[in-house]
Structure 1
Amino acid sequence: MTGVVFLSEEIKNIYKVSSIYVTTIIGAGFASGQEIARFFSGYYKGGFYGIVIAGILFAVVGWLVLDKVYTGRIKSYEEFLYPTVGWFFGKIMDTVVTLFMFSVLSIMVAGLGSILSDKLNIQLPVGVAIMAFVCMLLMLTDIRGVVALSSLITPILILGIVFTGFYVIIFKDTSVFNMAGTLKGITDNWFLSSLIYVSYNSIMSVVVMSNMLPYLKTRKTGVLGGIIGGISLCAIALLLNTVINIFYWEVSGKEFPILSVMEKYGNYFTSFYTFILWLAMFSSAVTSGYCLVDRIGSKIKVNKKIITVMTCLFIIPMSCFGFANLIASLYTLFGYIGLFMVFAILIQELRNDKKIN
């Protein structure tokens, strides 16, 4: 009986770990199709190969990071970062991570406020302020609140995206599929684009995973949590990429490609996917906000609740950036920088294996 209870608890923890990994990456850029279009769809067949490569890398990075957190009993991002990349590069990456999370939080709150203002017919600053306050309440609950939110939102996000994707594929004439390939990619190479995509997403996901020790009761929890998360991301991305390729003429240049597709199926489908997109933005905002407060809190000796309140107040006037422009430029910049951290994680693991052998 005890074994059954333990197994049930372990399954719950694997689900929680993989959920927060998935929701850290399935933000508004992913769910809207903007990231998929920018980083993969422009390469047609190469984009599908790139997504598979990205899925494998997500699984490997998640597995290695969570395994190190468990075996090293790591409790914070600093404990993970500095032994991995060294003091000098650790300081640089620390600054990059903080700037990246601030950018993501500002953009997500702006997107949330925009959707809220449209639906409630209120002014944008009011919508932004309301969503900043709601995000603040979740951020104040610390890592347990973030995990609880991810566990709740993840199945809704996945089911919503999967349902939407299959519905479009089944009820759309796919004869236009072979005409895709004119969308402009981030780089001239689908493989490099895939690496950049994984690297900038890993910037924040590593911060979150570095705080997951309370849920890693066994080593298997971390291994399976990372692998399941990577496989889930790969499957969903492949589905969205298929939809974007089908509608490539209509979605090229759109800020929210998938939402543009859903507008063709009526108000109910549009409202449904708007809700999914809102959830994705909300999870991204809370996750990035928590990580940002955690980073600031490690630098200054101020209560994290005070930092949380001040951060949410500060981003209200800052939440005025363009969604598509951020993904095309800022995400790509952080992606190149984040490549260093991804390679550092992989290289250190290879070194550890050699020492063991």
Structure 2
Amino acid sequence: MGKIFAIVSTILGAIIGAGFSTGQEIFYFFSRFKEKSFLYIFFSSILIFLILLYFVDIRIKSRIILMVFKSYILLFSVITLIVMFSAFGQLGKDFLGVSRHIFTLLCFVLSVAIFKHGLLAVVNINKVVISILIITIVFIFLQALHKNEILTQFESLKFHLQKDILNHLIFPLLYSTYNSLLAFPVVNGLKQRFRQKEIKVSIIISSILIFWLLSIINTMLLSKSSILNTQMPLLIVEKNIILKLILVTCAFLEILTTILANYMGLSYSIKNSKAEFVIIIISLLLGFNEFQALLRKLYSLMGFIGLGIIAMLLLSTLLLKDRRLK
């Protein structure tokens, strides 16, 4: 069970980042669709499960396809790094009143220091962060439920499927594609330390927890529709100073875990440590831009490209009948 917990925490740590912990991406991809958001969350969770399970077994024998895939992971890692660096700086500015540049630089220093200690350090920090996050989210949800804040907002929702539901399915599709590819380098790294059976069981548990966490946070956001236009809606929902402090701390730590996952993506794509460092520095400099704008523009772009990449991998698997990635 200790191994399963370590794997689940590491997978969740890769997927749960700035947009998740602040509520921004959950609002953008789910909450704004009101009652349909719960269906979209379920759809996304199933897709994440299927894609991650596929990643455990696939193998690409074609050098061209493997080169294209590694190039995408490289581009994907760079873009996500830019967003995460920006998010860390935005958090420091919004909740501590400190310059975004200072906190972005702090994020860079901390992430590089942790990553130098290898995969074990990544696993250990994820175990702590995910445990704190789950306990905090559950406590806040139960507190809101006790105050009838959750039940009240459900009375205003009409649970019926509208005709435009198919037009909006692209949002959960992009969400699941992006986050699955974000976790790929981590899953690939875990295969070197754990058995496939342990990883597959962990993927099942991770998918259930993703659905559960998304649903809880989405419900809380729907109960406070007046603040959904902010950059960090989840962090504004909670008014208790201590709980808000814990949430902000979780957000900082979760951004770090996502950055570590992207460092693993860089290591998978390129084998030159000097080139990796140069790319990280460029991502850091670009990360001084505004978080919300970066998240919405780059997230969707990489999601669309990711759909093509996964389609290419599926086609490769069907044609070559070989399902283990080199």
Smaller-chain TM-score bracket: 0.7 to 0.9
User: Would you say the 8 A contact 2:92–2:99 is kept in 1?
Assistant: no
Q: CA 1:294/1:346 → structure 2, altered by over 3 Å: closer, same or farther?
A: closer
Q: What is the match of residue 32 of structure 2?
A: 42
Aligned length: 316
The one of 175, 193, 209 equivalent to 1:215 is 193
Aligned-residue CA RMSD in angstroms?
2.9
> Bigger shift: 307-316 or 35-44?
307-316
Q: What is the match of residue 194 of structure 1?
A: 172
Aligned: 1:327 with 2:267: no
The one of 134, 137, 146 equivalent to 2:113 is 137
Deviation at 1:312, TM superposition (A): 4.3
Q: 1:204-257 CA distances to partner (integer Å, 9 max, x unpaired)?
A: 21122112123323x321220111111110110011111111112x12321111
CA distance in structure 1 between the aligned counterparts of 2:322 and 2:266, rounded to whole angstroms = 35
User: Would you say the 8 A contact 2:104–2:288 is kept in 1?
Assistant: no
> Bigger shift: 163-172 or 53-62?
163-172
Q: What is the match of residue 243 of structure 1?
A: 220
Deviation at 1:295, TM superposition (A): 2.1
Q: What is the match of residue 257 of structure 2?
A: 283
User: Would you say the 8 A contact 1:62–1:230 is kept in 2?
Assistant: no
Deviation at 1:308, TM superposition (A): 5.3
Q: What is the match of residue 96 of structure 1?
A: 72
CA distance in structure 2 between the aligned counterparts of 1:35 and 1:45, rounded to whole angstroms = 17
TM-score after normalising by structure 2: 0.85
Q: What is the match of residue 125 of structure 2?
A: 149
- How does 1:28-67 map onto structure 2 within 5 Å? 28-67=18-57
> Bigger shift: 341-350 or 55-64?
341-350
User: Would you say the 8 A contact 1:142–1:290 is kept in 2?
Assistant: no
Deviation at 1:335, TM superposition (A): 0.8
Deviation at 1:175, TM superposition (A): 2.4
Q: CA 1:308/1:159 → structure 2, altered by over 3 Å: closer, same or farther?
A: farther
- Which secondary structure state, in structure 2, belongs to the residue aligned with residue 216 of structure 1? coil
User: Would you say the 8 A contact 1:255–1:324 is kept in 2?
Assistant: yes
- Which secondary structure state, in structure 2, belongs to the residue aligned with residue 215 of structure 1? coil
> Bigger shift: 130-139 or 58-67?
58-67
- Which secondary structure state, in structure 1, belongs to the residue aligned with residue 285 of structure 2? coil
User: Would you say the 8 A contact 1:18–1:225 is kept in 2?
Assistant: yes
Q: 1:134-185 CA distances to partner (integer Å, 9 max, x unpaired)?
A: 111112123222222222222122222222233233324332334469xxxx
Q: What are the ranges of 5 or more consecutive residues in structure 1 without an aligned counterpart?
A: 1-10, 69-79, 182-186
User: Would you say the 8 A contact 1:18–1:226 is kept in 2?
Assistant: yes
CA distance in structure 2 between the aligned counterparts of 1:354 and 1:315, rounded to whole angstroms = 35
Aligned AA (1:239): I
TM-score after normalising by structure 1: 0.78
CA distance in structure 1 between the aligned counterparts of 2:166 and 2:228, rounded to whole angstroms = 17
- How does 1:246-261 map onto structure 2 within 5 Å? 246-248=223-225, 250-261=226-237
- Which secondary structure state, in structure 2, belongs to the residue aligned with residue 65 of structure 1? helix
User: Would you say the 8 A contact 1:62–1:225 is kept in 2?
Assistant: no
User: Would you say the 8 A contact 1:19–1:150 is kept in 2?
Assistant: yes
Q: 1:174-199 CA distances to partner (integer Å, 9 max, x unpaired)?
A: 32334469xxxxx9734222111111
User: Would you say the 8 A contact 2:89–2:99 is kept in 1?
Assistant: no
CA distance in structure 1 between the aligned counterparts of 2:269 and 2:319, rounded to whole angstroms = 28
Q: CA 1:258/1:319 → structure 2, altered by over 3 Å: closer, same or farther?
A: same
User: Would you say the 8 A contact 2:48–2:177 is kept in 1?
Assistant: no
Q: CA 1:321/1:123 → structure 2, altered by over 3 Å: closer, same or farther?
A: closer
Aligned AA (2:236): S
Q: What is the match of residue 18 of structure 1?
A: 8
Q: 1:295-344 CA distances to partner (integer Å, 9 max, x unpaired)?
A: 232xxxx3x3x455544444332221222222322111111111234445
> Bigger shift: 57-66 or 135-144?
57-66
CA distance in structure 1 between the aligned counterparts of 2:8 and 2:134, rounded to whole angstroms = 12
- How does 1:312-351 map onto structure 2 within 5 Å? 312-344=280-312
